[in-house]
Structure 1
Amino acid sequence: MTRSWKDDFYQRLSFSETLNDEAAQKAYDYKNKHLPNKLYRYRSLEKKLREKQNLENDNLYLSSPENFNDPYDCACKISNHLIIYYYCTNNYLNIFSRWKKPVFSKHKLDYRLLISNCSHYTRSYLKKYEDEHHETPDYSNIIKNIRDDILISCFSECYTSTLMWSHYANEHKGICIEYNLDNLKGDIYSIFNKRMYPVLYSNIMADATQLAIDSIFQQTTQNVLNHIFIKPAVNKSIDWAYEKEWRIVAPRIDNRVITTPTPSRIILGSRISSEDEKWVREVGLNKGIPVVKAIHSHIYHSMNLTRES
């Protein structure tokens, strides 16, 4: 399989210790080269007051993935084998570190080879692990904690998807908000830009084994705190690849409401009510945002837009 620029971006980001260090900055600069000129956010108008306030104030409300329509959203896998290996290896190291180095050199011992061949210690520490935990660790709680700690806002590269209008804009009764990102590409300090991540589509879940290890053995590192919640948040099944999605991802400790650029255009759904169309157009007029409306073709399975008003 051909490696994508997205894979390269996340690999570069994984080398950074914090989201603000030099390695992270270089990763974001690389991502910005691939950032689309425009991104779109489909919105249902069922929570009319919130949506109206967000449009008027250039705000965006971050959501919990627990409320998303994909049951696998932010799902991740945890390897029990790697956790046991980590547990045993570290216990071996603690034992052998008490021995003096001359012991190894005198008997020409390689302590790493010794670790791999200690079947007796492996059996004893596996038993110790089971005795201490009484059962397999409750990974479901760890995974739930990951989901609980993430806040997300979803965007797409496309505004003409019939499926997304149906799923996220209340069956074409809502709106689609367009953001022009041209002026943001050089501003890596912008929240709207820096927290924006491209979604990876795969049949394999994100691996959260390292988080489980840190959680179980209480050895959390700054790197894990900075990056572990990003991995499951940007990994989705290939079934969703048609969405061409980008996401703002933030830890729950952040404010759920963030400031956005003023929309460059608002697209009304083809089935929007006259009442909703009226107030959306009023907001657009007051803020100088062009407003257009989607119209379905009578020949093709596609849509066109009315002239800006």
Structure 2
Amino acid sequence: MSHDEMQDYWKTLCSFTGEDIPNEVNQLMAKIRYPRFLYKYRAVNNNNLDALRSNKLFFSKASSYDDPFDTFLHIDVEKIRQEFDSNYRSPEALAALANGMKETFQNQPGIPQEFIQQVANVEGLKQLFANGITNQFLSYVLTLRSKIQDEILSICLSENGFNETLWLKYADMHKGFCLMYDPYDENSFHCGKLKKCENCGVYKGGARIYPVYYSNTPHDATNFAKFVMGQDMIQQLQVPLPDFMQAELKPIPWEVERNSLIKKECHKYDEEWRLIANCKMNLPAMIEWVPAGVIIGLRTSQVDTNLIISMAKEAGIKKIYKSIIDEKNRLNAYLLTEV
């Protein structure tokens, strides 16, 4: 996709409100121009060889990626500070908060009575604010970045199978292999076509492939951070939030995609695409997608080459290529064997 096409795609994604998701999906898909193949770089090890043999691609959490800036979101802490202060500065607001805390916690076993007594009356809340609870709260807000990353499951691919940096980084310095996937071949996707798919989150929720957008302007995830905060509070406290808080902490459609599909400009060389799960799943979670081919690295040993070829044939992969440096000093490949 050209620079202009990528910008149009990103602006379209950021404009969605979730009011008509099927129509928004169609709009977004119309903006995407899929490459002929997508590629996955692999080192040679037992897990990757088994995944090759069984046509499996595993989802990962954004928090586990090697780049700590991955999922390039921004949480406006100062904005949250101002909202926090303004919402609970007046006596009326403090009274409403105290009543909400009382309704939430008074009949909940396991909640210390000292805590309930403090948060369920105005004077107790005033004391908490005087003791610096705002700064403690904002420190907690900053931890939401990793919690948001934990919410996102994706599979990373590249549109370039001859990216020298990716061969070095993810294919063990050209000693591994690179899998080729055909996004136009529906028969190569096993997901949704097997009996075991009936209870799979990918089958139920879906998973689409999107290009990654590169920018030095991060996505503002402040409102999504509030929603994640609410979910985390419910999980930690094991009680529903007061009604007045739930109204402010609603889920935001498309926010998982917007957070996952932006990376810093310096990573543009990755030419990355991502398959994003549309539901929560326990790891390990995976899809089954038969590669159209496999490219063996420049420095892959003969022993490992034989293993890759054996696993590829068992997986039903039709074409096996060997990397070369061509006459123009470019990384390239030739067809080694066709199954």
What TM-score, normalized to structure 1? Answer: 0.74
1:294 corresponding residue in structure 2: 323
Q: Is the contact made by 1:54 and 1:60 (CA closer than 8 Å) also made in structure 2? A: yes
2:286 corresponding residue in structure 1: 258
2:25 corresponding residue in structure 1: 25
The CA deviation string for residues 90-124 of structure 1, in whole angstroms up to 9 with x for no partner, is 679x979xxxxxxxxxxxxxxxxxxxxxxxxxxxx
Q: Is the contact made by 1:199 and 1:236 (CA closer than 8 Å) also made in structure 2? A: yes
Query: Measured at CA, do residues 253 and 285 of structure 1 come closer, stay the same or move farther in structure 2, by a change above 3 Å?
Result: closer
Q: Is the contact made by 1:148 and 1:252 (CA closer than 8 Å) also made in structure 2? A: no
Task: State how far apart, in whole Å, the 2-side matches of 1:284 and 1:178 are.
Answer: 12
Q: Which residue among 183, 186, 189 is the counterpart of 2:185?
A: 183
SS class of match (1:256)? coil
Q: Which residue among 60, 64, 69 is the counterpart of 1:67?
A: 64
- Which amino acid is the alignment partner of residue 170 of structure 1? D
The CA deviation string for residues 160-193 of structure 1, in whole angstroms up to 9 with x for no partner, is 11111001111011111001111349x9x97598
- Which amino acid is the alignment partner of residue 55 of structure 2? D
Q: Which residue among 151, 166, 169 is the counterpart of 1:167?
A: 169
Q: Is the contact made by 2:57 and 2:289 (CA closer than 8 Å) also made in structure 1? A: no
2:76 corresponding residue in structure 1: 79
Task: State how far apart, in whole Å, the 2-side matches of 1:95 and 1:28 are.
Answer: 45
SS class of match (1:160)? coil
The CA deviation string for residues 14-44 of structure 1, in whole angstroms up to 9 with x for no partner, is 32258xx42343245324x512231111111
Aligned 1:121-140 pairs, distance under 5 A:
130-131=129-130, 133-135=133-135, 137-138=138-139, 139-140=141-142
Task: State how far apart, in whole Å, the 2-side matches of 1:7 and 1:289 are.
Answer: 35
**Length, aligned pairs only:** 268
Task: State how far apart, in whole Å, the 2-side matches of 1:232 and 1:213 are.
Answer: 14
2:35 corresponding residue in structure 1: 36
* Higher mean C-alpha displacement, 200-209 vs 248-257: 248-257
2:147 corresponding residue in structure 1: 145
Task: State how far apart, in whole Å, the 1-side matches of 2:128 and 2:79 are.
Answer: 13
Task: State how far apart, in whole Å, the 2-side matches of 1:197 and 1:288 are.
Answer: 24
Q: Is the contact made by 1:160 and 1:303 (CA closer than 8 Å) also made in structure 2? A: yes
Query: Measured at CA, do residues 29 and 86 of structure 1 come closer, stay the same or move farther in structure 2, by a change above 3 Å?
Result: same
Task: State how far apart, in whole Å, the 1-side matches of 2:51 and 2:27 are.
Answer: 30
What TM-score, normalized to structure 2? Answer: 0.68
Q: Which residue among 275, 286, 306 is the counterpart of 2:334?
A: 306
Query: Measured at CA, do residues 231 and 49 of structure 1 come closer, stay the same or move farther in structure 2, by a change above 3 Å?
Result: same
Q: Which residue among 295, 314, 320 is the counterpart of 1:267?
A: 295
SS class of match (1:307)? strand
Task: State how far apart, in whole Å, the 2-side matches of 1:270 and 1:221 are.
Answer: 51
- Which amino acid is the alignment partner of residue 334 of structure 2? T
Task: State how far apart, in whole Å, the 2-side matches of 1:79 and 1:161 are.
Answer: 36
What is the deviation of 1:58? 1.7
- Which amino acid is the alignment partner of residue 69 of structure 2? Y
Task: State how far apart, in whole Å, the 1-side matches of 2:184 and 2:127 are.
Answer: 57
What is the deviation of 1:257? 2.9
Aligned 1:70-109 pairs, distance under 5 A:
70-87=67-84
1:6 pairs with 2:9: yes
Task: State how far apart, in whole Å, the 2-side matches of 1:141 and 1:166 are.
Answer: 32
Unmatched 5+ stretches in structure 2:
94-125, 193-201, 231-244
Q: Which residue among 190, 206, 225 is the counterpart of 2:219?
A: 206
1:236 corresponding residue in structure 2: 263
The CA deviation string for residues 224-248 of structure 1, in whole angstroms up to 9 with x for no partner, is 2x43333232111111111111012
Q: Is the contact made by 1:176 and 1:266 (CA closer than 8 Å) also made in structure 2? A: yes
1:51 pairs with 2:53: no
Taking only aligned residues, the RMSD between alpha carbons, in angstroms, comes to 3.4
1:118 corresponding residue in structure 2: none
Percent of residue pairs identical: 22
Task: State how far apart, in whole Å, the 1-side matches of 2:289 and 2:13 are.
Answer: 25
- Which amino acid is the alignment partner of residue 213 of structure 1? K
Unmatched 5+ stretches in structure 1:
97-126
1:277 pairs with 2:308: no
Task: State how far apart, in whole Å, the 2-side matches of 1:256 and 1:9 are.
Answer: 32
Task: State how far apart, in whole Å, the 2-side matches of 1:294 and 1:303 are.
Answer: 7
SS class of match (2:185)? helix
SS class of match (1:263)? coil
SS class of match (2:34)? coil
Q: Is the contact made by 1:9 and 1:30 (CA closer than 8 Å) also made in structure 2? A: no
Query: Measured at CA, do residues 82 and 258 of structure 1 come closer, stay the same or move farther in structure 2, by a change above 3 Å?
Result: same
